[in-house]
Amino acid sequence: MENKPQMSKHPNKSNPYDEYQRLAFHPYNVFLMLLLAGISALFLSFLAAFIYTRIQSGMKPLKIPPLFVFNSLLLLAASYVMWSAKRSFHRDEIKRYLMELKIALGLSVVFLFLQLTAWIQLFSQNIFPETDTSVAYLYLVSGLHLLHVLAGLPFLLAFLRRATRQLAEPVSALVYFSDPEMKLRLRLLNIYWHFLDALWLLLVGFFLVNALL
């Protein structure tokens, strides 16, 4: 009796045009790359404007709140957990996978809460956007970053809810881990969270360096 070939649960990686394996072809990938390029250009333009304004008007150095630095650790942790969740996905580790998605979501929510706390601390010190141009830039870029984290949370929450629902039964779990679109969505979430992490580190590092000059 002839043995039938078994279907691999992973897409054929030897196919260079597999749209689920390469970021260049799938519409979701194209949209995310364009989105990240636009966000990068937006923030870089604000940082360039800050440098130009500081040189032209002689703005005094700005000291960022310590919570901004601590928040960097939170986003680094969230980024690592998202990467670990992707690894757990490929290993079919259901409990670990769901736990890591929940941790990533929780860390992101804590980041938002502490970011608001940092602004409240600035308000309590009578440091408002209209106080100084450099302070206005700080509120602007940190506020825009917070909005992008906030915008990503519904997607992460929806992804987690779908994973929780489909991984409740063995058969649906097998389908879930075999679905190339789930792999794609998880990869895109990873890219977005890594991007937000790198962007925040850039912003914090930028203002720290400017405080020394």
CATH number at 173 reads 1.20.120.80
Q: Is residue 18 part of a domain?
A: no
Distance CA 139, CA 103 (A): 27
Q: Is residue 63 part of a domain?
A: yes
Alpha-carbon separation of residue 173 from 61, 62, 81, 118, 143 (angstroms): 54, 51, 21, 41, 39
Over residues 151-208, the pLDDT tens digits come to 999 999 999 999 999 999 989 999 999 888 899 999 999 999 999 999 999 999 998 9
pTM above 0.95, yes or no: no
Return the DSSP state at 10.
S
Q: Is residue 9 part of a domain?
A: no
Q: Is residue 16 part of a domain?
A: no
Distance CA 193, CA 177 (A): 21
Q: Residue 121 is part of which domain span?
A: 38-212
**Coil, helix or strand for 6?**
coil
Q: Is residue 23 part of a domain?
A: no
Number of domains in the chain: 1
For 89, the enclosing helix (H) or strand (E) is helix 66-90
Q: Is residue 137 part of a domain?
A: yes
For 67, the enclosing helix (H) or strand (E) is helix 66-90
Q: Is residue 71 part of a domain?
A: yes
**pLDDT higher for 29 or 94?**
94
Structure tokens at 127: 């440091």
